[in-house]
Amino acid sequence: MTRIAYVNGRYVPHHEAAVHIEDRGYQFADGVYEVIAVRRGRLVDENGHLDRLKHSLSELRIAWPLSRRALKIILREVVRRNRLNGDGMVYLQVTRGVAPRSHAFPDHRESALVVTARRLRLLQGNEADAGVDVITIPDIRWKRCDIKSISLLPNILGKQQAEDSGASEAWMVDSGGQVTEGTLSNAWIVTEMGELVTRDASRAILNGITRQAVLRLATEAEIAFSERPFTVNEAKAAREAFITGTTVLVTPVVRIDGEPVGDGRTGEFTAKLLAFYARHMDNQGKGT
Protein backbone atom coordinates (compact mmCIF):
# COMPACT_ATOMS: atom_id res chain seq x y z
CA MET A 1 0.00 0.00 0.00
CA THR A 2 1.28 3.46 -0.91
CA ARG A 3 1.83 5.70 2.09
CA ILE A 4 0.24 9.14 1.96
CA ALA A 5 1.69 12.38 3.31
CA TYR A 6 0.14 15.80 3.80
CA VAL A 7 2.36 18.64 2.56
CA ASN A 8 1.16 22.24 2.67
CA GLY A 9 -2.44 21.66 1.68
CA ARG A 10 -2.04 18.54 -0.47
CA TYR A 11 -2.23 14.80 0.17
CA VAL A 12 0.50 13.17 -1.91
CA PRO A 13 2.19 9.76 -2.19
CA HIS A 14 4.88 9.56 0.47
CA HIS A 15 7.65 8.95 -2.07
CA GLU A 16 6.68 12.14 -3.93
CA ALA A 17 6.41 14.37 -0.84
CA ALA A 18 8.80 17.33 -0.91
CA VAL A 19 9.36 20.79 0.51
CA HIS A 20 11.01 23.81 -1.07
CA ILE A 21 14.81 24.02 -0.89
CA GLU A 22 14.47 27.34 0.96
CA ASP A 23 12.10 26.02 3.59
CA ARG A 24 13.55 27.38 6.84
CA GLY A 25 13.21 24.00 8.47
CA TYR A 26 15.63 22.58 5.91
CA GLN A 27 18.11 25.46 6.06
CA PHE A 28 17.93 26.56 9.70
CA ALA A 29 16.07 23.83 11.64
CA ASP A 30 13.62 26.69 12.19
CA GLY A 31 10.63 24.62 13.16
CA VAL A 32 8.98 22.29 15.66
CA TYR A 33 7.40 18.86 15.59
CA GLU A 34 5.20 16.38 17.44
CA VAL A 35 4.97 12.59 17.37
CA ILE A 36 1.58 11.18 18.33
CA ALA A 37 1.01 7.50 19.02
CA VAL A 38 -1.86 5.74 17.28
CA ARG A 39 -3.62 2.94 19.12
CA ARG A 40 -6.19 0.91 17.20
CA GLY A 41 -6.52 3.71 14.69
CA ARG A 42 -7.04 6.45 17.29
CA LEU A 43 -4.67 9.23 18.32
CA VAL A 44 -3.35 8.93 21.88
CA ASP A 45 -3.27 12.07 24.07
CA GLU A 46 -3.89 14.24 21.01
CA ASN A 47 -4.85 17.35 22.98
CA GLY A 48 -1.72 17.13 25.10
CA HIS A 49 0.43 17.06 21.98
CA LEU A 50 -1.41 19.99 20.43
CA ASP A 51 -1.09 21.97 23.66
CA ARG A 52 2.67 21.40 23.59
CA LEU A 53 2.74 22.32 19.90
CA LYS A 54 1.05 25.59 20.83
CA HIS A 55 3.76 26.24 23.43
CA SER A 56 6.59 25.49 20.99
CA LEU A 57 5.12 27.66 18.23
CA SER A 58 4.47 30.52 20.62
CA GLU A 59 7.98 30.47 22.08
CA LEU A 60 9.53 30.58 18.59
CA ARG A 61 6.95 33.07 17.26
CA ILE A 62 5.93 30.73 14.44
CA ALA A 63 2.36 31.10 13.21
CA TRP A 64 -0.08 28.21 13.32
CA PRO A 65 -0.32 26.82 9.77
CA LEU A 66 -4.10 26.52 10.21
CA SER A 67 -6.62 26.31 13.01
CA ARG A 68 -6.39 23.65 15.71
CA ARG A 69 -9.71 22.23 14.55
CA ALA A 70 -8.50 21.99 10.95
CA LEU A 71 -5.25 20.37 12.08
CA LYS A 72 -7.20 17.69 13.94
CA ILE A 73 -9.13 16.93 10.75
CA ILE A 74 -5.89 16.58 8.79
CA LEU A 75 -4.35 14.28 11.41
CA ARG A 76 -7.34 11.96 11.20
CA GLU A 77 -7.37 12.08 7.43
CA VAL A 78 -3.71 11.09 7.27
CA VAL A 79 -4.45 8.18 9.60
CA ARG A 80 -7.42 7.17 7.43
CA ARG A 81 -5.59 7.47 4.09
CA ASN A 82 -2.73 5.35 5.42
CA ARG A 83 -5.22 2.72 6.65
CA LEU A 84 -3.63 2.91 10.06
CA ASN A 85 -6.26 0.83 11.85
CA GLY A 86 -3.85 -0.74 14.31
CA ASP A 87 -0.84 0.73 16.12
CA GLY A 88 1.47 3.36 14.72
CA MET A 89 2.49 6.98 14.88
CA VAL A 90 1.75 10.31 13.24
CA TYR A 91 4.53 12.84 12.72
CA LEU A 92 3.69 16.49 12.21
CA GLN A 93 6.17 19.29 11.56
CA VAL A 94 5.64 23.03 11.36
CA THR A 95 8.37 25.35 10.10
CA ARG A 96 8.54 29.11 9.58
CA GLY A 97 7.98 28.47 5.90
CA VAL A 98 9.77 29.34 2.68
CA ALA A 99 11.81 32.54 2.32
CA PRO A 100 15.13 33.68 0.85
CA ARG A 101 17.92 32.59 3.17
CA SER A 102 18.41 35.14 5.93
CA HIS A 103 18.82 34.62 9.65
CA ALA A 104 16.17 37.19 10.55
CA PHE A 105 12.49 36.22 10.40
CA PRO A 106 10.89 36.66 6.96
CA ASP A 107 8.24 39.35 6.52
CA HIS A 108 5.49 36.81 5.88
CA ARG A 109 3.85 34.64 8.53
CA GLU A 110 3.06 31.67 6.30
CA SER A 111 4.31 28.59 8.11
CA ALA A 112 4.67 25.20 6.45
CA LEU A 113 3.01 21.97 7.59
CA VAL A 114 3.95 18.35 6.89
CA VAL A 115 2.14 15.33 8.35
CA THR A 116 3.12 11.68 7.83
CA ALA A 117 2.07 8.38 9.39
CA ARG A 118 3.45 4.88 9.62
CA ARG A 119 2.73 1.58 11.28
CA LEU A 120 4.64 0.88 14.47
CA ARG A 121 4.58 -2.10 16.79
CA LEU A 122 4.25 -0.63 20.24
CA LEU A 123 5.73 -2.43 23.24
CA GLN A 124 3.75 -5.59 23.86
CA GLY A 125 3.49 -8.23 26.58
CA ASN A 126 6.71 -9.83 27.78
CA GLU A 127 8.90 -7.48 25.71
CA ALA A 128 8.91 -5.28 28.81
CA ASP A 129 10.56 -8.01 30.88
CA ALA A 130 13.96 -7.73 29.22
CA GLY A 131 14.41 -4.00 29.77
CA VAL A 132 17.09 -1.81 28.18
CA ASP A 133 20.56 -0.50 28.93
CA VAL A 134 21.34 3.20 29.10
CA ILE A 135 24.62 5.08 29.20
CA THR A 136 25.22 8.55 30.63
CA ILE A 137 26.68 11.39 28.55
CA PRO A 138 27.18 15.15 28.98
CA ASP A 139 24.16 17.24 28.06
CA ILE A 140 25.40 19.54 25.28
CA ARG A 141 22.01 20.87 24.16
CA TRP A 142 20.75 24.44 24.14
CA LYS A 143 18.92 25.98 27.12
CA ARG A 144 15.37 25.74 25.77
CA CYS A 145 14.73 22.02 25.79
CA ASP A 146 11.07 22.68 26.65
CA ILE A 147 10.59 23.60 22.98
CA LYS A 148 10.18 20.56 20.75
CA SER A 149 12.55 21.87 18.12
CA ILE A 150 13.47 19.94 14.98
CA SER A 151 17.11 20.83 15.76
CA LEU A 152 18.09 17.47 17.22
CA LEU A 153 21.79 17.06 16.39
CA PRO A 154 22.93 16.63 20.06
CA ASN A 155 20.20 14.02 20.55
CA ILE A 156 21.28 12.21 17.41
CA LEU A 157 24.91 12.15 18.51
CA GLY A 158 23.90 10.87 21.93
CA LYS A 159 21.66 8.17 20.53
CA GLN A 160 24.41 6.99 18.20
CA GLN A 161 26.86 6.93 21.11
CA ALA A 162 24.41 4.67 22.94
CA GLU A 163 24.08 2.41 19.90
CA ASP A 164 27.87 2.24 19.53
CA SER A 165 28.09 1.20 23.19
CA GLY A 166 25.51 -1.55 22.81
CA ALA A 167 22.89 0.40 24.77
CA SER A 168 19.40 1.48 23.75
CA GLU A 169 19.37 5.00 25.16
CA ALA A 170 21.64 7.70 26.58
CA TRP A 171 20.75 9.78 29.62
CA MET A 172 22.10 13.30 29.35
CA VAL A 173 23.74 14.79 32.44
CA ASP A 174 24.05 18.49 33.23
CA SER A 175 27.12 20.28 34.59
CA GLY A 176 25.96 19.57 38.15
CA GLY A 177 26.00 15.82 37.61
CA GLN A 178 22.20 15.55 37.48
CA VAL A 179 20.28 13.62 34.84
CA THR A 180 18.14 15.77 32.57
CA GLU A 181 16.52 13.25 30.20
CA GLY A 182 17.18 10.73 27.47
CA THR A 183 17.89 11.51 23.83
CA LEU A 184 14.30 10.53 22.98
CA SER A 185 12.69 9.88 26.34
CA ASN A 186 12.17 11.14 29.87
CA ALA A 187 14.16 9.51 32.68
CA TRP A 188 12.71 8.03 35.90
CA ILE A 189 13.91 6.20 38.97
CA VAL A 190 12.27 4.52 41.96
CA THR A 191 14.22 5.09 45.18
CA GLU A 192 14.88 2.45 47.83
CA MET A 193 12.05 4.03 49.83
CA GLY A 194 9.65 3.42 46.93
CA GLU A 195 9.38 7.03 45.76
CA LEU A 196 8.93 7.66 42.04
CA VAL A 197 11.27 10.43 40.84
CA THR A 198 11.53 12.28 37.55
CA ARG A 199 13.07 15.63 36.71
CA ASP A 200 10.77 18.61 37.15
CA ALA A 201 9.35 20.16 33.99
CA SER A 202 11.47 23.23 33.28
CA ARG A 203 13.45 24.58 30.37
CA ALA A 204 16.01 21.82 31.00
CA ILE A 205 13.77 19.04 29.66
CA LEU A 206 10.94 18.39 27.26
CA ASN A 207 7.75 17.89 29.23
CA GLY A 208 6.83 14.56 27.67
CA ILE A 209 3.17 13.83 27.02
CA THR A 210 3.71 10.23 28.17
CA ARG A 211 5.52 11.66 31.20
CA GLN A 212 2.47 13.74 32.05
CA ALA A 213 0.14 10.76 31.61
CA VAL A 214 2.27 8.57 33.88
CA LEU A 215 2.25 11.23 36.59
CA ARG A 216 -1.54 11.39 36.39
CA LEU A 217 -1.76 7.61 36.57
CA ALA A 218 0.59 7.55 39.56
CA THR A 219 -1.61 10.10 41.32
CA GLU A 220 -4.71 8.02 40.65
CA ALA A 221 -2.94 4.93 42.01
CA GLU A 222 -1.71 6.86 45.07
CA ILE A 223 1.93 6.20 44.20
CA ALA A 224 4.20 8.75 45.89
CA PHE A 225 6.30 10.73 43.45
CA SER A 226 8.62 13.70 43.36
CA GLU A 227 9.50 15.97 40.44
CA ARG A 228 13.12 16.89 41.09
CA PRO A 229 16.60 16.39 39.67
CA PHE A 230 18.52 13.23 40.56
CA THR A 231 22.19 12.39 40.13
CA VAL A 232 23.76 9.55 38.17
CA ASN A 233 24.89 7.97 41.44
CA GLU A 234 21.35 8.14 42.80
CA ALA A 235 20.07 6.48 39.63
CA LYS A 236 22.61 3.68 39.90
CA ALA A 237 21.61 3.08 43.52
CA ALA A 238 17.88 3.12 42.73
CA ARG A 239 15.53 0.20 43.18
CA GLU A 240 14.19 0.64 39.64
CA ALA A 241 14.58 2.91 36.63
CA PHE A 242 12.65 3.38 33.42
CA ILE A 243 12.08 5.70 30.48
CA THR A 244 8.89 7.08 28.98
CA GLY A 245 8.03 8.43 25.56
CA THR A 246 5.50 8.27 22.76
CA THR A 247 7.15 5.33 21.03
CA VAL A 248 8.86 3.65 24.01
CA LEU A 249 5.80 3.94 26.30
CA VAL A 250 7.10 2.83 29.74
CA THR A 251 10.30 0.84 29.23
CA PRO A 252 12.36 -0.60 32.12
CA VAL A 253 16.02 0.38 32.44
CA VAL A 254 17.98 -2.60 33.80
CA ARG A 255 21.56 -1.30 33.47
CA ILE A 256 23.13 2.16 33.64
CA ASP A 257 26.69 2.44 32.31
CA GLY A 258 26.87 -1.35 32.52
CA GLU A 259 25.87 -1.50 36.19
CA PRO A 260 22.63 -3.32 37.07
CA VAL A 261 19.75 -1.29 38.46
CA GLY A 262 18.30 -3.12 41.47
CA ASP A 263 18.32 -6.81 40.65
CA GLY A 264 18.75 -6.08 36.94
CA ARG A 265 15.16 -6.95 36.09
CA THR A 266 11.90 -5.10 35.56
CA GLY A 267 10.65 -3.89 38.92
CA GLU A 268 7.13 -3.94 40.33
CA PHE A 269 6.59 -0.19 40.06
CA THR A 270 7.68 -0.12 36.43
CA ALA A 271 5.51 -3.12 35.54
CA LYS A 272 2.53 -1.58 37.30
CA LEU A 273 2.92 1.78 35.56
CA LEU A 274 3.33 0.08 32.18
CA ALA A 275 0.10 -1.82 32.78
CA PHE A 276 -1.67 1.39 33.79
CA TYR A 277 -0.38 3.18 30.70
CA ALA A 278 -1.32 0.33 28.37
CA ARG A 279 -4.85 0.50 29.77
CA HIS A 280 -4.83 4.26 29.27
CA MET A 281 -3.93 3.76 25.61
CA ASP A 282 -6.48 1.01 25.13
CA ASN A 283 -9.23 3.19 26.56
CA GLN A 284 -8.47 5.81 23.93
CA GLY A 285 -8.32 3.07 21.36
CA LYS A 286 -11.91 2.27 22.29
CA GLY A 287 -12.85 5.90 21.90
CA THR A 288 -13.53 6.39 25.60
CATH number at residue 277: 3.20.10.10
CA angle 266, 275, 246 (to 5 degrees): 90
pLDDT grade for 190, boundaries at 50, 70 and 90: very high
Q: How far is residue 76's CA from residue 276's CA, in Å, rounded to a whole number?
A: 26
- Of 56, 87, 119, the residue that ends a domain is 119
Query: Is the pLDDT confidence value at 124 over 80?
Result: no
Q: Helix %, strand %, coil % for the chain, to 5?
A: 30, 30, 40
Closest CA to 244 of 204, 217, 224: 217
pLDDT score at 287 = 47
pLDDT score at 288 = 39
- What SS3 class is residue 186? strand
Structure confidence by residue, pLDDT tens digits, 16-63: 999 999 999 999 999 999 999 999 999 999 999 999 999 999 999 999
In total, the chain counts a number of residues equal to: 288
Q: CB atoms < 10 A from the CB of 132, how many?
A: 19
pLDDT score at 107 = 92
Are 258 and 162 within one domain?
yes
Say if residue 182 is exposed, middle or buried (CB neighbours under 10 Å; 0-12, 13-18, 19+). Answer: buried
Is residue 131 within 8 A of residue 265, CB to CB? The reply is: yes
pLDDT score at 122 = 80
**Based on C-alpha coordinates, what's the Rg of the chain?**
19
Number of domains in the chain: 2
Query: Is the pLDDT confidence value at 8 over 80?
Result: yes
Are 19 and 80 within one domain?
yes
pLDDT score at 129 = 67
Separation of first and last alpha carbons in the chain: 30
Closest CA to 120 of 248, 209, 15, 211: 248
- What SS3 class is residue 97? coil
Are 108 and 144 within one domain?
no
Query: Is the pLDDT confidence value at 221 over 70?
Result: yes
Query: Is the pLDDT confidence value at 126 over 90?
Result: no
Are 188 and 266 within one domain?
yes
Are 255 and 173 within one domain?
yes
What is the reported pTM? 0.95
Q: How far is residue 163's CA from residue 156's CA, in Å, rounded to a whole number?
A: 10
Torsion sign, CA atoms 167, 171, 175, 176: negative
Q: What is the CATH number of the domain that holds 65?
A: 3.30.470.10
pLDDT score at 285 = 55
| Mean per-residue pLDDT, 3-12 | 98
pLDDT score at 121 = 87
Catalytic residues: 148
pLDDT grade for 109, boundaries at 50, 70 and 90: confident
Are 106 and 139 within one domain?
no
Query: Is the pLDDT confidence value at 82 over 50?
Result: yes
Domain hosting 160: range is 127-285
Are 281 and 148 within one domain?
yes
Query: Is the pLDDT confidence value at 80 over 70?
Result: yes
